[in-house]
Amino acid sequence: MTEPRTWMCLICGWIYDEAAGDPEHGIAPGTSWDAVPMNWTCPECGARKEDFEMVQI
């Protein structure tokens, strides 16, 4: 198991944390970025998954 990573929306700055997931939108805690569905969008601005970049926090 790799360390959980964080991904930032390049449009609005919202952070997806793999450890926390996005349970309000159907993504369970512990879900890796690769396992997030391609049709998932940023809960803040609606940006697509390809508009996110991995960041160190």
Express each pLDDT in 1-57 by its tens digit.
578 999 999 999 999 999 999 999 999 999 999 999 999 999 999 999 999 999 988
42 is in an annotated binding site: yes
Full strand arrangement of the beta sheet holding 15-17: 15-17, 6-9, 52-55
Question: What pLDDT sits at residue 57?
Answer: 81
Question: What pLDDT sits at residue 1?
Answer: 56
Question: What pLDDT sits at residue 3?
Answer: 87
CA–CA separation, 36 vs 29, rounded Å? Answer: 11
Question: What pLDDT sits at residue 15?
Answer: 98
pTM: 0.90
Q: What is the CA radius of gyration of the chain?
A: 10
Coil, strand or helix at 52: strand
The structural domains of the chain, ordered by start, are 6-55 (2.20.28.10)
9 is in an annotated binding site: yes
12 is in an annotated binding site: yes
34 is in an annotated binding site: no
